[in-house]
Structures are given as C-alpha cells and as structure tokens.
Amino acid sequence: MPISSSLEPAPAHTQVSRDFIQNMPKVELHLHLGGSYPLSYLEEISTDHDRQCLHEYLCPKRDIISYHEWFRVFDVIERVVDSESKVEEGARRLCHDLAKDGVIYVEIRTGLKDYGQGYVAYIDAVQRGIERGIKETGIQARLILSFRRNTPFDLAKLTVEEAIARKDKGVVGIDVSGDSGIGNIEPLLPLLTKAKESGLGICIHMGECVEECDQKLILDHIIPHRIGHGVHLGDDAHKIVHENKLAVEACLTSSVIAQMIAKEEHHPAIEWWKNGHPVCFSTDDPLIFQVSLTDELWKLSQMENLDKKQLVELSYDALNYSFLSKEEKESLIHKIKNYYC
Ligand SMILES: [Zn+2]
C-alpha cells in the first residue's frame, strides 16, 4: 500500500506553492524518449518546414486531438531526429531538462529504430546520451525498451533479447506501447514472460482507448509490474489490476489531450490512489503535451488540495514502484528525506 494512502487532504490554508513542487526531488516513471526531446533542441536541428510543423502541433491553443491522430506528431519528430548522433544528443539534453525540473530518477522508454546502422546501434546511442546526461547532471536514469502490439515478432524478440543482455547495464524493463487499438499481441506474449522471468520490469499500456479488446488476454497470460494509463479498463482487467495492486502510471494532461477523458479530475486513478491503490503520476510525453512533472503534480495538488507531506510521499511511492534494485532505491531515498521529512 502506498504511504500516501493513509493521509487526509490538507486544509486549504496549508496548500503548497508551485516552487515547493519544482524543487522537490521527483521520480518520473512513464516517459517516451520520442515524445520528450526538448523543443529547443529540435528547433536547433529542424528544417524550416519541420520547425513550422512542430509549432503547429505543439501550439498550446491547438484543439484536443483524437487518441489515434496524435501518433502523427511522432512522424515529424522522427523526421527531425534521424540519426544515432541526434538521438544521443537528444537523450543527453532530455536528462538536462529533467534534472532542471527536479527529477532525480527517470525511466526513459523507447522502441527500437534503425537509422542505417541497425537497431543495436540505436540502443547504444540512446544509452550513450543517457550516460552523458547522468554524468553531467547527477540525475539517475534507466532505459525501458518498448514494442507495440503490432511489432513484427522478430523485432519484438530482438527488443527483449537486447533488454535481457543489457539488464544491470542501464536497461530495467520492457514496455508495450503504441496505439493500443491496433495489432494482435498474442504471438508476442511469450516474449513478455521471458522478459519477466529474466528479472526485467514489465509495464503495459492498457485502458488507453475503448476499442481495446486484449486486456484480459494479456492479463491472463502475464501479471505486469505496472499499467500505463489504465483509464478504460474493462471489468475483468479492473479486477486483476486491483486484486494484484498493480501500480498505475497516471498521466493527467496526456489523458485529456489524447481524449481518454474530458477533464484531468475524471482520471480514475486519482480515486484509486485516494483509496490506497498504487499510482505514480507521470508526464508520458513532455514535448508533445508541453508539460513537466512539476506541472502534473502542481495540477494534482490544486485539484486535491495536497499538502507537502502528501506530495513528498508521492515521490517515495514512485521510487518504490520503479524498476531499480532495493539497494539503488535506498541510495536515492535520502535525497527525498533531506528535502522534507
Ligand atoms: Zn505512454
């Protein structure tokens, strides 16, 4: 049970400032590299046309886009970040941005790409960028490798094999992402079992759109460690997620912009968290949704009138649900304790 579950909302007069959240050591567990490169970096390396496209998509006044539509934004980003060296620099710059936002630990996820030198060279580049970011900022960061429900079997197999080979060398898990209404995951399920048996963390995007029909199929096959979003869970999946106390990665702004819910306060995970279910609040894609983890926690604290203790305990809880080892978690916990206890 999360520590925060035992706490009552704070009286209005004890509400925290945004600065308290900005400076608070935070833990980010659901963040896609492709949707998180700093905008300033993309602007530097874009053509005029792509820069214009990015601004059009990322304009704060843009209309809310449909869940399926927003995957098109990634096409522009893939056009801009199109080499191993750009990926490496992008990952490095992302670590800098996150450290500036007070993030002390992040799990960055990405699917495998081939920019001409093969998939392994891509993972190497991402890891080099992350390692440089760690060295330069002091942030701790690990990588989660993703595949989609419609990823060809051989590529999903390579993803899992690479993750296993790099376990304890910067990679901590496997993620299933992409448009959850597209593809048949059934042939890929044994790969998830293999990854879990090898000691990797497993997180699965689930409950993103109402068309999903594989929730029970997946959960009957494997109990993952964490669920991404969990907004539209069917009755069976809801029961399994709750009975097994599976941590839910709730991304409030993302859920609204991608039209999973109409308003942030409608996210079901908020109520679950208040009732003691493990939830970690995350950004999903800070670039795409133009949000930071500070923004997300600030929004939550205003909605739920959270006090300092409750906010700090969200960081403790997220660290607890991370895929770090017990010893690694212990090495970070003092940073949170020193901030507020
Ligand atoms: Zn996601």
Q: What phi and psi values does residue 336 have, to the nearest 5 degrees?
A: -70, -45
Of the two residues 60 and 277, the one the predictor is more confident about is 277
What are 215's two structure tokens? 């929730």
pLDDT at 5 over 50: no
Calculate how far, in angstroms, residue 176's C-alpha sits from the geometric centre of ligand 1: 9
Nearest to 284 by CA among 203, 219, 340: 203
Calculate how far, in angstroms, residue 308's C-alpha sits from the geometric centre of ligand 1: 27
What is the DSSP code string of 210-271? TT---HHHHHHH---SEEEE-TT--HHHHHHHHHTT-EEEE-HHHHHHTTS-SSGGG-HHHH
**pLDDT band with cut points at 50, 70 and 90 for residue 55:** confident
Identity of the amino acid at 83: S
Calculate how far, in angstroms, residue 6's C-alpha sits from the geometric centre of ligand 1: 28
Residue with tokens 């080499």: 83
Nearest to 250 by CA among 196, 202, 332, 314: 314
Helix 73-80 to helix 48-58 angle (10° resolution) is: 150
| Averaged pLDDT, 94-100 | 98
Q: Which helix (H) or strand (E) holds 85?
A: helix 84-100
Mean pLDDT, rounded, of the chain? 92
pLDDT at 54: 86
DSSP class of residue 199 equals: T
pLDDT at 69: 63
**% the chain with pLDDT above 90:** 83
Calculate how far, in angstroms, residue 31's C-alpha sits from the geometric centre of ligand 1: 7
**pLDDT band with cut points at 50, 70 and 90 for residue 47:** very high
Contacts of 27 (CB under 8 A, 6+ apart): 103, 104, 105, 106, 280, 315, 318, 319, 322
Calculate how far, in angstroms, residue 262's C-alpha sits from the geometric centre of ligand 1: 18
Exposed (0-12), middle (13-18) or buried (19+): which is 138, by Cβ within 10 Å? exposed
Calculate how far, in angstroms, residue 178's C-alpha sits from the geometric centre of ligand 1: 8
Residues 296, 252 contacting (CB under 8 angstroms)? yes
Question: Rounded to two decimals, what is the model's pTM?
Answer: 0.94
Calculate how far, in angstroms, residue 28's C-alpha sits from the geometric centre of ligand 1: 12
Contacts of 152 (CB under 8 A, 6+ apart): none
Q: What phi and psi values does residue 228 have, to the nearest 5 degrees?
A: -85, 125
| Averaged pLDDT, 92-114 | 98
Calculate how far, in angstroms, residue 147's C-alpha sits from the geometric centre of ligand 1: 12
Q: Which helix (H) or strand (E) holds 208?
A: none
- CA–CA gap between residue 296 and residue 311 (Å, rounded): 12
Calculate how far, in angstroms, residue 205's C-alpha sits from the geometric centre of ligand 1: 7
pLDDT at 124 over 90: yes
Question: Where do the domains of the chain lie?
Answer: 3-339
Q: Which fold has domain 3-339?
A: TIM Barrel (3.20.20)
What are 148's two structure tokens? 């989609």
**% the chain with pLDDT above 70:** 92
- pLDDT by residue (tens digit) across 9-36? 555 546 799 999 999 999 999 999 999 9
pLDDT at 308 over 50: yes
| Averaged pLDDT, 209-217 | 91
Calculate how far, in angstroms, residue 12's C-alpha sits from the geometric centre of ligand 1: 33
- pLDDT by residue (tens digit) across 136-190? 999 999 999 999 999 999 999 999 999 999 999 999 999 999 888 899 999 999 9
- CA–CA gap between residue 317 and residue 277 (Å, rounded): 11
What is the DSSP code string of 103-171? EEEEEEEEE---SSS-HHHHHHHHHHHHHHHHHHH--EEEEEEEEETTS-HHHHHHHHHHHHHTBTTTE
Calculate how far, in angstroms, residue 32's C-alpha sits from the geometric centre of ligand 1: 6
Calculate how far, in angstroms, residue 192's C-alpha sits from the geometric centre of ligand 1: 18
CA torsion 53→57→60→65, rounded to 10°? 160
Calculate how far, in angstroms, residue 46's C-alpha sits from the geometric centre of ligand 1: 24
Q: Which helix (H) or strand (E) holds 80?
A: helix 73-80
